[in-house]
Homo-oligomer: A and B are copies of this chain.
Amino acid sequence: MVVSNKGVLFKAIPTGHPVIGEHFEVVDRTIDIENFNLEENELLLKNVYISLDPYMRERMREHYIESYIPPFHVGKIMVGDGTSVVIKSTHPQYHEGDIVAGFTGWEEYTHIKENDGDMDVTGRFCLNHAKDSSLSLTHHSFLLRVHGLTAYRGLINFGTPKKGETIYVSAAAGAIGHLVVQMAKIKGLHVIGSAGSDEKVDFLLNTLKIDAAFNYKKVDVNKALSKHCPDGIDIYYDNVGGETLDQVLKHCNRFARVIVCGMISQYNIRNQKEKYGIKNIEQVFMKSMSIIGFLVSDFWSVPNDNFGKDMEEWLDSGKLIYKEETTVGIENAPQAFLNMFAGKNLGKSVVKISDF
C-alpha cells in the first residue's frame, strides 16, 4: 500500500521571516506502509495534528548558536509537537491504534526511532483516554497538555494573582493569551488585552468578555495603557517582548510581576543590532518588581497542583473556552506558520493532517 507522505522540508536558515520555497517547502513523497520495516523499539505514526508555535522559529538557526532548544537540521523534515496514531509498533509500550502526543515530523507519516533526540520513541505521551472523551482530541493533546498549562503556570504559579489586581496580556487573542485572559477573569482580576486586529479585539470583548481590549496596530500602546489601566498594572503576561514590554514597565505598580512566556516580536530578528533594547529596565528595582521567565517544559508538574481539577471545572462550567485556528492539510502548514507570525490566527494554530 503505497500512499502519499507529503512533508515540509527545512531547506535553509532564514535571517528574517522565513520564505516558502526558500527556507522551507512542501515535498511530495510516498511511503509503502505495508512493507515498512521497523527495527526494535520503533514506531510508525500516522500524524493527525501538528501544533504551530512561535518558538519553532528559534529552531531555524545556525547550529553554532546556543539556545534553549536544539536547532532544526537543514535538509530534514521539520519537527513539532503533534498528535498521532500508532500504525506499526515494535516498542512494548505502544500498540497499533494508540493515540500518542509528542514531537513528530511535519509530514503525513513519521518513523520514530530510538535515541533520536527530541523525536525519540520515549517522548510519547499516551492519549488513549481522548477516545472516550466528550472533549475534542486537540483539547487533550494541546489545551490540557501544553498550552493550557503554559497559561496556567505563568499566571497562577508565577503571577500569583490577587483578586482586584490589574493584568495586561499582550497577544491576548493568541494560543496562550486567550487562555490567560479567561483564567485571569476567573481569578477576579481586572483584565486588559491587546491584539493586532479589530476582529480579535471584538473576540476579546464580546466572546471572552474581558474588561478592555485594544488593537495595538491602531492606537498608541502607552496611551491605551494609561486609559485602560488607570490604577497601573500588577501583572503583565508578556507574549511579545520588544517595545510593548518597554512601555509596560512604566505602567507597572510596585511589586508588579512581569511573566515572560515568549517574545514573538523578536523571533524573526537574528541580527543583534536590530533587536529592540529595553530602556525602562531600571523600573524593576525602582518598583521592586520581578520579571519572571519560564518554559512550561520545566514545570510539567509542581507540588499541590490544581491544574487538572481547575481546567475540568472551568471547561465543564463553560467559564473557559478553547479557541483554535485549524488549517487542513500538511501542504498548508508553511503558510499557516507564517500567518501566525503575521498575527492572523485567532487562538491556537493547529494543522490537521488526517482524520483519526
Contacts and interface: CB of A to CB of B under 8 A. Distances in A.
Nearest to A296: B288
A285 B290 contact: no
Nearest to A246: B277
A67 B286 CA distance: 7
A142 to B, nearest CB: 20
A295 B288 contact: yes
Contacts of A277: 246, 276-279
A68 B286 contact: yes
Interface SS of chain A = mixed
A285 B279 contact: no
Interface residues of A, number: 35
Contact of A285 (B255, B263, B278, B288): B263
A285 B272 contact: no
A284 B293 contact: yes
Interface string A64-93: 000110000000000000000000000000
Given A241-B282, A272-B279, A278-B281, A291 B288 contact: no
A300 to B, nearest CB: 13
A287 B293 contact: yes
A245 interface: yes
A43 interface: no
A260 interface: yes
Closest 6 CB pairs between A and B? A277-B277, A285-B293, A284-B293, A291-B291, A68-B286, A260-B285
9 contacts: A254-B298, A266-B282, A277-B277, A285-B293, A285-B295, A288-B293, A288-B294, A289-B293, A291-B292
